[in-house]
Structure 1
Amino acid sequence: MEDLFAGRDVDINAMKARMSGLMAEEGLPYGDRTHTYNSRLAQEVGKWADAEGHGDAFHEAMFHAYFVDGLNISDADTLAQIAASVGLSADGAQAVMRERRFQAAVDADWQRSRDFGITGVPTFVANGRGVVGAQPYEILERLVVTAGGTPRQEG
């Protein structure tokens, strides 16, 4: 993380504390990440998982692998193990990565993001409005309501 933010005025410990607090408020687990990894292959495997009907489970497992366990999500063997953990074929995941079957689909997602002016993740967009970064639930709910959605009903 130090190398990633070298030369920028970023307080890594404060950033980690903020993220940890936001995650705790939502009851989500969050580990002490020390590295960041290129998620390109993970995005391609995620597209495949979506197409195979295992997208939600795969994305949940990826969240846990990266943000809780600190696993290297740029590593093909790690991605194949994560895919297998949610009922997908590890060999199928390896083939998706080797053949880059979903490269064009991810390229299209990236282009759409650039078209919207998105430069950071996560970014949430609804009806032409957006918020960048990890946000409290209330901020995301306000975005959805402003876009015409219905607020969550309590009780």
Structure 2
Amino acid sequence: MRAEPDDSPARQALERGVVTVDVVSDVVCPWCFLGKRRLEAAIAQSGEPVDIRWRPFQLDPTIPPAGLDRGAYVSAKFGSLAALDAAHEKLSASGAEEGIAFAFDRIARAPNTIDAHRLIRWALSADLQDAVVEALFQAYFVEGRDIGDRKMLVGLAEAAGMDATLVHRLLASGADEADVRDEIATAVRLGVSGVPFFIFAGRYAVPGAQTAEVLAAAIAKARSEGPMREGA
């Protein structure tokens, strides 16, 4: 899957020996948290420069801005909370292998994640995307906090090193909401229907929370083949 033009930042980075990895994800997706850990392991295996860019996706954009009671939401969608017990047990086991202490029983709200994605977008310019994404995953899946709450988001942003006053103002203004929605729509047009979804060097797509070995191989492939030339 080719996602960017020949003069894209991904190609320019590859010409400098850096592989870009675009990670399309949602911060309420447990498999995306696992995918983050496995990508980190893959990068450690490769030992080469990699530039990660976190891209937005919403598993359920119909959730209202204020969020929903998670018990009621899950029951309406799956029949009951118990219907997810087997999946949560599997995820907890996989998480333990990656150093993630999933605590699904602590999650009380099903949030709309559009504001969280706006925060991630702003974190890029401050070179704090990874820290903010990690904080959001930890807050939701380990601590059970409501990451749809703007006060919560401001606190997480400040703890990660961002300007809390600026983040508060941007959230209230609606800044970049349309751009985030457009980016999600672009991902869907490119064929993304589930997350995580990894795009290496703007060229190779790897869907799902694959093993570190699979992701490391994709990094190596993107690097070894070099920048895609005009007309290739």
TM-score after normalising by structure 1: 0.78
Which structure is richer in relative contact order (CA contacts within 8 A, separation 6 or more)? 2
What is the identity, as a one-letter code, of the residue corresponding to 2:213? E
In the alignment, is the contact (CA less than 8 A) between 1:22 and 1:135 conserved in 2?
A: no
2:213 counterpart residue number = 138
2:117 counterpart residue number = 43
Map 1:1-155 to 2 at 5 A: 1=70, 2-3=74-75, 5-6=77-78, 11-33=83-105, 34=107, 35-126=109-200, 127-132=203-208, 134-145=209-220, 147-149=221-223
Mind listing any 5+ residue stretches in structure 1 that lack a counterpart?
A: 151-155
Instruction: Give 1:104 deviation, angstroms.
Output: 3.2
Higher strand share: 2
Deviation string 1:67-107 (CA, Å, 9 cap, x unpaired) is 11111111111101111111222221111111122223312
Mind listing any 5+ residue stretches in structure 2 that lack a counterpart?
A: 1-69, 225-232
In the alignment, is the contact (CA less than 8 A) between 2:123 and 2:162 conserved in 1?
A: yes
Instruction: Name the CA distance, whole Å, in 1 between partners of 2:204 and 2:175.
Output: 30
The verdict on how the C-alpha distance between 1:55 and 1:148 changes in structure 2, with shifts beyond 3 A counting, is closer
Structure with larger Rg: 2
2:3 counterpart residue number = none
Deviation string 1:20-78 (CA, Å, 9 cap, x unpaired) is 12211122332225443211100001111112222221111111111111111111111
- Number of aligned residue pairs: give it: 147
Over the matched positions of the two proteins, sequence identity in percent amounts to 26
Q: What is the SS of the residue equivalent to 2:78? A: coil
What is the identity, as a one-letter code, of the residue corresponding to 2:163? S
RMSD: 2.6
Instruction: Give 1:124 deviation, angstroms.
Output: 2.4
TM-score after normalising by structure 2: 0.55
